[in-house]
């Protein structure tokens, strides 16, 4: 039994293996949001910005997240969505290599990251090019034309994990600037941005950090780098003195210059409460527990259905905290499992994906999932016309 499980609201009879997509509700978030709504917004009205510390939340919460990813104080700022953060990181990174034209990524990267890059490069014109290669071919594709290496550490489909420190060094040796997307890393695997020395990183807070649907993203800029770049998406709250209302943009110091607009105060209250669950947790141990639970699940699922193809590596250093398989009937199998009370998810074209977050997922959950999957396979429960068409959100 996990001693932190009780910090979360988990509906009766449900095994939740989808915290890699949307973390469950931390009980403390409900009361924190209620307090922010009633005592702060309700009673203090606009004075909340000064009196309740709303304006400082992006930096204060950035520092809290920073402790989970090895980032120095003042280098992480919270707000916006991850797609916007990737756009900002890339725009800033390109300024540091004005003579190079290639942005290198891998084909396993999350489409939104690639779309943001494509949109930015098209807007910039000037011959910029996005080049994507297979995830094991990234190092070989580094060269004198590569301005920026932009990767997601843990592949959202397979759960395979890049060697961040090694690739960062290789890219920097080749003269490139490095951006890491930590969407599936933050709160799931040990990350040490300071040692890794990458220039930029970004991540979201609604996955393993459990801050709720629509919770804000974060951006990391290495301490020596912020001052060298002008934010492309300059907004008033990234200004050194927003309330001077000067017509020209004068960037604030540190990562604060990457703030854009008004922070989502209620979601940040949820994030603040959600982060409490990570106090005193060792990400190294948490990840080791996730790997052990994932192996247990893999063994049970593969013995029920040997036709599943396992996609996630077994070596802990080479993987995140999810376990994924592929199967032509993957979508229907996931739907049938959900009908049995075991929530995982599906990623096109044929991937069954299960997030293992040991703050609340236990061995008993994994065993219940294995039993349910055994029923789905033995009874061919996946073979139901109701599962023939995909829902809008898979
Ligand atoms: C979840 C995820 C996103 C989502 O971006 P939003 O702008 O927050 O919707 C982007 N990139 C990666 C790698 C992700 O895993």
Catalytic-role residue among 106, 113, 181, 365: 181
Helix, strand or coil, per DSSP, at residue 352: strand
Catalytic residue flag (residue 16): no
Q: Is 346 helix (H, G, I), strand (E, B) or coil?
A: strand
Q: Is residue 199 within 6 Å of ligand 1 at its C-beta? A: no
Buried b (16+ CB within 10 A) or exposed e, 367-377: ebbbebbeebb
Which tokens go with 206? 């609604």
User: Does ligand 1 lie within 6 Å of residue 183's CB atom?
Assistant: yes
329 labelled catalytic: no
Catalytic residue among 207, 257, 289, 329: 207
Tell me, yes or no, if 206 is annotated catalytic: yes
Q: Is the CB of 209 under 6 A from ligand 1?
A: no
One digit per residue, the tens of pLDDT, for the chain of length 394 reads 468 999 999 999 999 999 999 999 999 999 999 999 999 999 999 999 999 999 999 999 999 999 999 999 999 999 999 999 999 999 999 999 999 999 999 999 999 999 999 999 999 999 999 999 999 999 999 999 999 999 999 999 999 999 999 999 999 999 999 999 999 999 999 999 999 999 999 999 999 999 999 999 999 999 999 999 999 999 999 999 999 999 999 999 999 999 999 999 999 999 999 999 999 999 999 999 999 999 999 999 999 999 999 999 999 999 999 999 999 999 999 999 999 999 999 999 999 999 999 999 999 999 999 999 999 999 999 999 999 888 888 8
Rg of the chain over all Cα atoms, to the nearest angstrom: 22
> For residue 184, which atom of ligand 1 is closest to its CA?
15
112 touches ligand 1 (CB under 6 Å): yes
Instruction: Check if the beta carbon of residue 222 is closer than 8 Å to that of residue 199.
Output: yes
Q: From atom 2 of ligand 1, which residue's Cα is the shortest distance away?
A: 183
Residue 205 CA to ligand 1 center (angstroms) comes to: 10
Task: Encode 237-276: b = buried (16+ Cβ within 10 Å), e = exposed.
Answer: bbbeeeeeeeeeeebbebbbbbbbeebbbbbbbbbbbbbe
For residue 7, what are its two tokens? 């910090």
Backbone angles phi, psi at 283, to 5 degrees: -60, -30
Question: Could you identify the atom of ligand 1 that is nearest to the CA of residue 207?
Answer: 1
- Give the Cα separation of 45 and 68 in Å (integer): 33
Q: In order of start, what are the domains of the chain with their CATH numbers?
A: 2-27+282-384 (3.90.1150.10), 53-278 (3.40.640.10)
Query: Is residue 29 a contact partner of residue 214, using CB atoms and an 8 Å limit?
Result: no
Catalytic residue among 8, 16, 87, 110: 110
Centre of ligand 1 to C-alpha 380, Å, is: 34
CA distance 224 to 198: 11
| Residue 300, helix vs strand vs coil | helix
User: Helix/strand/coil (H, E, C) string of 112-123?
Assistant: HHHHHHHHHHHH
């Amino acid at each position: 039994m996990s001693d932190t499980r009780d910090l979360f609201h988990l509906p009766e009879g449900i095994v939740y293996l989808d915290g890699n997509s949307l973390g469950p509700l931390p009980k403390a978030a409900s009361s924190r949001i209620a307090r922010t709504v009633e005592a702060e917004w309700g009673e203090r009205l606009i004075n909340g910005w000064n009196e309740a510390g709303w304006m400082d939340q992006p930096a204060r919460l950035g520092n809290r997240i920073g402790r989970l990813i090895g980032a120095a104080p003042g280098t992480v700022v919270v707000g916006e969505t991850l797609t916007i953060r990737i756009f900002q990181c890339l725009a800033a990174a390109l300024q540091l290599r004005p003579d190079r034209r290639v942005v290198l990524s891998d084909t396993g990267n999350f489409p939104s990251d690639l779309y943001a890059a494509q949109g930015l490069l098209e807007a910039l014109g000037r011959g910029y090019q996005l080049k994507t290669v297979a995830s094991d071919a990234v190092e070989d594709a580094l060269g004198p034309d590569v301005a920026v290496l932009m990767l997601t550490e843990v592949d959202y489909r397979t759960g395979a994990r890049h060697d961040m420190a090694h690739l960062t060094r290789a890219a920097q040796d080749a003269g490139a600037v490095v951006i890491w997307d930590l969407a599936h890393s933050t709160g799931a695997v040990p990350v040490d941005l300071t040692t890794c020395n990458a220039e930029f990183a970004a991540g979201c807070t609604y996955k393993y950090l459990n801050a709720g649907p629509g919770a804000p993203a974060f951006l990391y800029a290495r301490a020596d780098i912020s001052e060298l770049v002008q934010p492309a998406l300059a907004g008033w709250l990234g200004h050194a003195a927003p309330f001077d209302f000067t017509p020209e943009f004068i960037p604030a110091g540190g990562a604060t210059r990457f703030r854009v607009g008004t922070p989502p105060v209620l979601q940040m209250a949820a994030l603040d409460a959600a982060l409490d669950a990570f106090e005193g947790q060792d990400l190294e141990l948490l990840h080791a527990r996730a790997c052990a639970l994932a192996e247990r699940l893999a063994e049970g699922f593969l013995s029920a259905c040997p036709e599943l193809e396992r996609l996630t590596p077994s070596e802990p250093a080479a993987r995140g905290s999810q376990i994924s398989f592929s199967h032509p009937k993957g979508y229907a199998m996931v739907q049938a499992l959900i009908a049995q009370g075991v929530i995982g998810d599906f990623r096109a074209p044929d991937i069954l994906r299960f997030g293992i977050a040991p703050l609340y997922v236990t061995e008993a959950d994994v065993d219940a999932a294995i039993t349910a999957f055994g029923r789905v396979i033995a009874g061919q429960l996946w073979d139901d016309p109701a599962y023939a068409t995909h829902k809008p959100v898979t």
